[in-house]
Amino acid sequence: MAEILILAEHDGETVKKVTTELITLARRFGEPAVVWTGPGAEAGQARLAEFGAAKVYVAASPEYDEYVAAPKAELLAELAKQSSPAAILLPSTAEGREIGGRLAVKTGWGILTDVVGVGDDLSAEQANFGGAINVSSRVRAGTPIIAVRPNAVTPEPAPGAAVLEPVSLTVSDAAKQARITERVVQQRGERPELTEASIVVSGGRGVGSAENMALIESLADSLGAAVGASRAVTDAGWYPHQFQVGQTGKTVSPQLYVAVGISGAIQHRAGMQTSKTIMVVNKDPEAPIFELADFGVVGDLFKVVPQLVEEITKRTS
C-alpha cells in the first residue's frame, strides 16, 4: 500500500488535533507516514501511534523551526521523491498552505487548499466563497498536495506502529532566507486554538467594549471553547486581530459556533457558516445571522449570556 505523507503540526511535544485528523483521513487511502520536524518526536510518538501512523519520518534539526515554510517544503519534496506517496496531506493553516504552495512549485504537482472532505479517488471537497458553493476538485498533475481544514474530519483512534525513522537531511541555504528571530506568545489563558476548537464563542459589535469581551470569554470558558470576534470588534481594538473570524480573518468550522452580538454580515458569515451547529444571541430579530441559527435567542446579551453561563455551570458542575 502506498504511503500518504502527513506533515505533523505540534508544539515540540504535543501533537495538534489536526494531525490526528489527517492521520485518520489518510488511513482510508494508504499507509499514514507522518513527517515530524524539529525536536520532540519521541514525546509525540504514542499519540501518532494511537491514531494509526505506520511510520514517522523524523527530521529533528531545530533549524526546521527557525525559518519560515521553506525548510519544511524542501523536506517534503525530498521525502516524496524517496517514498513516492499517493498523496501529501497538510493542515490548511496559514503555514500549512504556504508549505504546500512551495512544495507545489518545487514539484509541479497540483495543490488544493481549504479542503473539507476527500473522496476515495482523492478528489477533494471545498466550500468556496465563504461556504456559498460546494466544489469538488482533483489534482491532475503529479501527486495530490491536499491542505485539509482543521475540524473537517473526526479523529478516530486505530493502533499503528508509528516507527520512528530518522531522516538525515540538512536544510539548504536557499531555504534559510526568512529567519524567525523571536516568538511572541499572546495566547489568553488556556483556551483551545481558534481554528482547532470544537466550540467557538464569538463576540460582535453588540458587545460594546473591550472590557465586555470578558463576558464572551466567560461563556467560552464555561464551554471549554475558543474565543472569536467579528471584524467590528478587532477593528475597534476590543480584541486582538488574530481572533477575527470572517472573510479577512480565520475560517472556522467547529461542532458548535455561538455568535453573540454579531449581526452576520457576509464578511463574518464567510468565516463560520460551515460550522455544524450555530447558536445566536442578538437583540435585533432582523439580524441576518438568525438565518444560520439552529437555535437563537432574541434578547439583550448582557442578560442572556450571564444566565446562560450560570446554567451551564450548574449543569456541568
Within 76-95, the residues that bind another protein by CB under 8 A are 93-94
Q: Give the residue from 262, 147, 253 showing the smallest Cα distance to 195.
A: 253
Other CB atoms within 10 Å distance of the CB of residue 83: 15
User: From the CB of 163, what's the least distance to another protein, in Å?
Assistant: 31
Instruction: Out of 161, 178, 210, 214, name the contact with another protein by CB under 8 A.
Output: 178
Task: Please return the burial class of 34, using the count of CB atoms within 10 Å of its CB with bins 0-12, 13-18 and 19+.
Answer: buried
* Residues from 25 through 54 that contact another protein (CB under 8 A): none
Of 21-29, 34-42, 97-105, 162-170, the window that binds another protein (rule: CB under 8 A) is 97-105
Residue 312 touching another protein (CB under 8 A): yes
User: From the CB of 316, what's the least distance to another protein, in Å?
Assistant: 5
Residue 210 touching another protein (CB under 8 A): no
User: From the CB of 161, what's the least distance to another protein, in Å?
Assistant: 31
Four-residue CA torsion sign, 246, 247, 251, 252: positive
Of 32-40, 51-59, 151-159, 177-185, the window that binds another protein (rule: CB under 8 A) is 177-185
* Residues from 180 through 199 that contact another protein (CB under 8 A): 180-187, 193-195, 199
Of 29-37, 40-48, 161-169, 277-285, the window that binds another protein (rule: CB under 8 A) is 277-285
C-alpha cell at 201: 464563542
Question: Residue 7 and residue 278: Cα distance in Å, rounded?
Answer: 31
* Residues from 131 through 150 that contact another protein (CB under 8 A): 131-142
Distance linking the first and last C-alpha atoms of the chain: 48
What is the identity of the amino acid at 209? S
* Residues from 105 through 124 that contact another protein (CB under 8 A): 105-106, 108-114, 123
| H or E element that contains 315 | helix 301-316
Four-residue CA torsion sign, 234, 249, 274, 92: negative
Of 82-90, 129-137, 155-163, 205-213, the window that binds another protein (rule: CB under 8 A) is 129-137
Of 21-29, 36-44, 63-71, 206-214, the window that binds another protein (rule: CB under 8 A) is 63-71
User: From the CB of 290, what's the least distance to another protein, in Å?
Assistant: 6
Other CB atoms within 10 Å distance of the CB of residue 245: 31
Choice between 2 and 295, CB closer to another protein: 295
- Say if residues 262 and 203 touch (Cβ distance below 8 Å): yes
Question: Residue 75 and residue 79: Cα distance in Å, rounded?
Answer: 6
Residue 104 touching another protein (CB under 8 A): yes
Q: Give the residue from 137, 133, 92 showing the smallest Cα distance to 273.
A: 133
